[in-house]
A and B are shown apart, each in its own frame.
Chain A
Amino acid sequence: MTLVIRMLTVYPQTKTYFAHWKDLSHGSAQIRKHGKIVINGIGEAVAKIDDLQKGLLTLSELHAFQLRVDPTNYKILSHCILVVLAITFPADFTPEAHVAVDKFLAAVSRSLSEKYR
């Protein structure tokens, strides 16, 4: 999963959230594992698309009270997800598909920031 390494490389400021990891290089096992966790979280959001606020409550509390990720970074990660989709599905990732996914990821980001204050 190139998603997390892509984010860490293109937007180095995001590395500040991973200072506690030993290995931030390409191919790092920690990074690959984390990519899976993030993507699974998004998969969970897809399943709960009709009530993201309720469905992502636990994740929102995690991000708000423990991780305390600045919400700007959700935009950054969302952009990286879109780039990976464009690379993986060049013909299918039409502008119409793009706007739908972007809208969805924005909603997920909003739900994740829900409990911040």
Chain B
Amino acid sequence: MVEWTDFERQTIADIFGKIDYETVGAAALSRTLIVYPWTQRYFGNFGNLYNAAAIKTNPLIAKHGTTIVHGLDRAWKNLDNIKEAYTELSVLHSEKIHVDPDNFRLFCDCLTITLAAQMGADFNADIQAVVQKFLVVVVAALGRQYH
């Protein structure tokens, strides 16, 4: 089981309890699709992804970004039981959507950068370390049911 310090629990609750899911989700997902274009392979049915402008204004992508970031809810609300909390989602990503788990890392990197842009100087090294640890744990849990 992962050990979380009080500082880590507080930081995670502060950040994820207060983000604007629509803005952050849309920004993080569109950034992922633009910076790592191969990730577009999973979005064949999402309409126009022809260039960065199209991706940034695509409403289906924006909506899906929100869905993905809401997927983090079950992590920060269940810090002491993340592995179990993600069993269902892990099976979904592996058996149904067939997502290469490396993409989770790519999305998380873009999510980190989105949060950094939003929080500015408040996103210091210690805060970034907490976010990084949290996202790494989630990514590991998401990859667990792959076989």
Chain A residues packing against B (C-beta within 8 Å): 2, 5-6, 8-11, 26, 79, 82-83, 86-87, 90, 93, 95-96, 98-99, 102
Contacts and interface: CB of A to CB of B under 8 A. Distances in A.
Interface of B: 30-31, 34-35, 52, 55-56, 109, 112-114, 116-121, 123-126, 128-129, 132
Contact of B109 (A5, A6, A26, A79): A79
Contacts of A8: 125
A93 B31 CA distance: 11
A2 B124 contact: yes
B34 A95 contact: yes
B52 A86 contact: no
A98 B113 contact: yes
A32 B125 CA distance: 14
B101 to A, nearest CB: 16
A92 to B, nearest CB: 10
Contact of A98 (B35, B56, B119, B125): B35
Nearest to B33: A95
24 contacts: A2-B124, A6-B124, A6-B125, A6-B128, A9-B125, A10-B128, A79-B109, A79-B112, A83-B113, A83-B128, A86-B114, A86-B117, A87-B121, A90-B117, A90-B118, A90-B120, A93-B113, A93-B117, A95-B30, A95-B34, A95-B35, A96-B52, A98-B31, A99-B35
Nearest to B122: A87
Contacts of A82: 109, 113
B64 to A, nearest CB: 16
Closest 7 CB pairs of A and B: A9-B125, A95-B34, A90-B117, A86-B116, A86-B117, A6-B125, A99-B35
Nearest to A84: B116
A98 to B, nearest CB: 5
A34 to B, nearest CB: 15
